[in-house]
Amino acid sequence: MSNYINKKFSYENSPKTSQNWIKLSEDERKKQIFEILINNPNYESFEIIKAEKNGIVILRIEKLLQASERGILLLNLEQILKNTIDQGITIWLEPVGDKSKLRNLRGIEIK
């Protein structure tokens, strides 16, 4: 039997963080995540920006990665964090501004 995602999954509630996760300070939550990142060379260029009580973990990636490669890395990391720390964790990347030097020189600002 195949285990494909279908429409019924869109109606499911997202997992909530446990009381253990909520009770930790942000520094303690970051430390737990950092221990996992440091043990895997694929994630050595990841920096933890925030680790919130509601399970949102915001990361910054210093290394330039292709979108297809980045997506797989992030999904795998999220699954590792869910399995080892807390089921309610979700991974997000820090929003990045426009890096185009030409647009910045012309004074164009995208909001």
Single out the residue of 38, 4, 14 nearest to residue 86, CA to CA: 14
Where exactly are the structural domains of the chain? 15-106
State which fold the 15-106 domain adopts.
Alpha-Beta Plaits (3.30.70)
Residue the block writes with tokens 């285990």 = 3
Query: What is the pLDDT at residue 1?
Result: 47
CB 78 within 8 A of CB 86: no
Q: Looking at the whole model, is its pTM more than 0.95?
A: no
Query: What is the pLDDT at residue 103?
Result: 63
Query: What is the pLDDT at residue 102?
Result: 67
Query: What is the pLDDT at residue 50?
Result: 94
Q: pLDDT 10s digit of each residue in the chain, 111 long?
A: 456 677 887 788 888 999 999 999 999 999 999 999 999 988 888 999 999 999 999 999 888 778 788 888 899 999 999 999 999 999 999 877 666 666 666 665 666
